[in-house]
Copies of this chain bind each other. A is one copy, B any other.
Amino acid sequence: MSEKITELLEAKKIAELRALFAEMEPADIAAALEEFDDEKLPVLYRILPKDVAADVFVEMDGEEQEYLIKSFNDRELREVVNELYLDDAVDIIEEMPATVVKRILANTNAQDRKIINELLNYPKDSAGSIMTTEYVDLKSGMTVGEALERIRKTGVDKETVYTCYVTDNKRKLKGIATVKEMILSGNDAKIEDIMDTNVIFCTTTEDKEEVADKIKKYDFLALPVVDKENRLVGIVTVDDAIDVMVEEATEDIEKMAAVLPTDKSYLKTSVFSLWKARAPWQLLLMISATFTGMVLNTFEDRLTAFPVLISFIPMLMDTGGNTGSQAAVTIIRSLSLGEIEFSDILKVIWKEIRVSVLCGAMLAVACFIKIQVVDVLIMGANVNLISCAVVCVTLFVTVFCAKLVGCTLPILSDKIGLDPAVMSSPFITTIVDAISLLIYFNVASAFLGFNA
């Protein structure tokens, strides 16, 4: 697509270029424009049809937006800002340096500026920070015809018109009326007769993740947001809820891999930011691995008497880590989807005990066969039956302990208010490593008679 745009631009076929843009979706135009150099960006942006320019602007990345704003004159900036939904304006402002923010606010009308400043004050990750104040409000005494007339007059600036909010004189939320219900009921029906008064809502300070969960659970197109006095102050629409869900899934995945969440996409994140996101857990885990080293240290001299046991250490540690994180990650995801909670802990443990017996038995048998066939027969290693039994018994006990640690730690950390996602692979691995070595040496001492 960008080749075609370059071609038309170089041939100065501006009308054709505008016609091409008019046929494209804003998200696609934004993606195409981002391929161009910063200097070409303002030129191309000015060619965009007026009615899609602001929509394209919203879809761009922060860096391109900042560059464009700097290239705008005040009139151009005002045109864009006036076209933006206020929640989008807030999202953009939050990413801009102070000087740019000042210029944006200076070119916003007084009423919008007041609302933007209010929205900027809501805590990060709260419902208030992602809501929009542009909804259609109705009064319960209206007829459907009057309501549709109100939508006709005010709807063009609203992010959604399909769910309307019925408020009283104190802006308290009385009910919701959908356009579907209005159309099905006909113009003469009263809003108070067709509105749903059992309204699910959220408060401005509620976590945005909970807001997204509600929209998902009830299949809503929008969720009303009320303040402490129960007055309607805004709505969160389903497209913003989707963005929250994707963002939260990314954060969970990053945490599970011991990476601190970053705001930007990978290619836009600086080397230094990537280092900052990864370094803390690397350091912590490296130092925790000292304990495993200490366990190994304690048994060092006895190990040198049975050197064949050393070569099974990586397999035992890895299998322990893998089986433990399998359980941990499954539980973490179930917690985050609300499928299990603390009261299920006994059910979870009982289930994992049975799974771990199955897994442990299978792995022990497979390991026995593997040692006898691969190590002894094919490679000619000197592993006697007792050593082989030591390894297989250790494997079984390790898998059992790893699954128990893996399933209980996330639930417990959720209970005490820690994010369960950090109790994942790297953390579990470090704990299970030390446990698996302790089991190994105790089993070995029982079977081979060296003192543990």
Contacts and interface: CB of A to CB of B under 8 A. Distances in A.
A271 B407 CA distance: 14
A193 to B, nearest CB: 15
Contacts of A152: 183-184, 186
Contact of A366 (B162, B286, B437): B286
Contact of A314 (B162, B296, B351): B296
Nearest to A291: B314
A450 B194 CA distance: 86
Contact of A304 (B307, B318, B325): B307
Contact of A355 (B271, B340, B354, B367): B271
Contact of A433 (B184, B318, B334, B351): B318
A159 to B, nearest CB: 10
A293 B279 contact: no
B275 A355 contact: yes
A285 B429 CA distance: 14
B314 A282 contact: no
Contact of A162 (B180, B281, B348, B370): B180
Number of this chain's copies in the assembly equals 2
A185 to B, nearest CB: 9
A331 B266 contact: yes
Interface stretch (A96-104, A116-124, A126-134, A237-245): A237-245
B311 A279 contact: no
B292 A250 contact: no
Contact of A318 (B23, B25, B429): B429
A412 interface: no
A149 to B, nearest CB: 9
Nearest to A379: B294
Interface in A343-361: 344, 347-348, 351, 354-355, 358-359
A275 B359 contact: yes
Contact of A221 (B221, B326, B424): B221
Interface string A301-343: 1011001101111110111011101101111011001011000
Interface string A414-441: 0000000000111001100100010000
B286 A315 contact: yes
A170 interface: no
A106 interface: no
B25 A200 contact: yes
Given A287-B370, A297-B311, 12 more contacts: A156-B184, A161-B180, A221-B221, A246-B249, A246-B337, A266-B340, A285-B319, A286-B366, A300-B310, A301-B307, A314-B433, A325-B425
A288 B290 CA distance: 25
Contacts of A259: 326, 329-330
A437 B433 CA distance: 16
A452 interface: no
A12 interface: no
B312 A266 contact: no
Contacts of A186: 152
Given A254-B330, A281-B322, A285-B322, A267 B359 contact: no
Contacts of A334: 265-267
